[in-house]
Amino acid sequence: MAEMDSCECKKMCVPCARMWFKTSSNCCFCRKTVSMLNNSDVSFVRQREDHDQDVPCFTFPYRNWLGQLDVFHAHLFQSQLFANSRAKLRLPKEILFMVKTIDSMNQDILHDNAYFSLITKKIYTFRGKRRQAIYRILFYFTMENNNPIALFFLCTLLRRAANDKERNRRKKVFDLRDDSYLQISKAIFQDLPEKSLFEKSCYDILQEHKTTRNWLILTSLLPYIFPEEEKNFEITITDIYEEEEEEIDFLDILTTTI
């Protein structure tokens, strides 16, 4: 990772850092002026005003709580877009916005129809490596960081997947045990994630936090999608309804029928 003389933001690889400092001599994360990069001089470059600002990225239509058609305007940080452009696996802007929302820890979004529409109508539709990345990120933040926003996104996706699986049992949602290295940029996150995000499968991350509250919530949904894994979760489908008797703070929004 790149090391700067004036800050401790070790979030960029050296090639990415060199590319960034051609356009600005300020760290793209903490905004401090940098004069040395890995013992090499960094030329002073006047910072553009729009560096690392929230910039408009995409819009999507949704129906608000009155049932009226509305449009949501999503913004992303420029440094996040830059880091993503240098990664082996580039993520769509909708997934970057999901990451930004998780990092924000703003629980107000749990009651916003726009985010529910984004999850079910856009994020759920991604396939292949991008879909695997979505679930790896969500399992990591839900189990390792106990992040309520990630739990909301993940449970909403799993409920949608369970509904689809019921209609088509051959449908493959995602690979629960895929532990191939996740080749996304570490710098798209506000804080540098642990290695487990990039090296461990969703199943391993889940089982390392067995019997926790979030584990109980997720294992009440996963047997519907992965019936072959039911014994590993140590819970039967007949027990699921008993688990859901207790009211769970913000999770009441997840009972919405898809």
Stretch 90-106: mean pLDDT, rounded?
A: 93
DSSP string, the chain: ---BSS-----S-HHHHHHHTTT-SB-TTT--B--EETTEE----PPPTTTT-EEEEEEEEEE-TTS-EEEEEEEEEHHHHHHHHTSSSPPPHHHHHHHHHHHHT-GGGGG-HHHHHHHHHTGGG--HHHHHHHHHHHHHHHHTS--HHHHHHHHHHHHHHHHHHHH-TT-----TT--S---S-GGGSSSPPPTHHHHS-HHHHHHTTTTSHHHHHHTTTHHHH-GGGHHHHT--GGGHHHHTTS--GGGGGGGS--
Tokens coding 175: 């690979």
Arithmetic mean of pLDDT over the chain: 84
Q: Is the pLDDT assigned to residue 111 strictly greater than 60? A: yes
Q: Which residue has the higher pLDDT, 198 or 3?
A: 198
Label residue 74 left, alpha or beta by phi (over 0 means left) and psi (-120 to 50 means alpha). Answer: beta
All structural domains of the chain with their residue ranges: 1-51, 54-255
Instruction: Provide CB contacts within 8 A for 133, sequence distance 6+.
Output: 89, 91, 95, 182, 184
Tokens coding 250: 């913000």
Q: Which residue has the higher pLDDT, 127 or 167?
A: 127
pLDDT in the model for residue 50: 46
pLDDT in the model for residue 16: 83
Q: Is the pLDDT assigned to residue 38 strictly greater than 50? A: yes
- The pLDDT confidence band at residue 33, using thresholds 50, 70 and 90, is confident
Instruction: Provide CB contacts within 8 A for 29, sequence distance 6+.
Output: 7, 9, 11, 52, 79, 187
pLDDT in the model for residue 181: 95
- The pLDDT confidence band at residue 225, using thresholds 50, 70 and 90, is very high
User: What is the pTM (predicted TM-score) of this model?
Assistant: 0.72
Q: Which residue has the higher pLDDT, 175 or 168?
A: 175
pLDDT in the model for residue 78: 86
pLDDT in the model for residue 108: 77
For the ranges 69-78, 142-151, 222-231, 246-255, which has the lowest average pLDDT? 246-255
pLDDT in the model for residue 243: 44
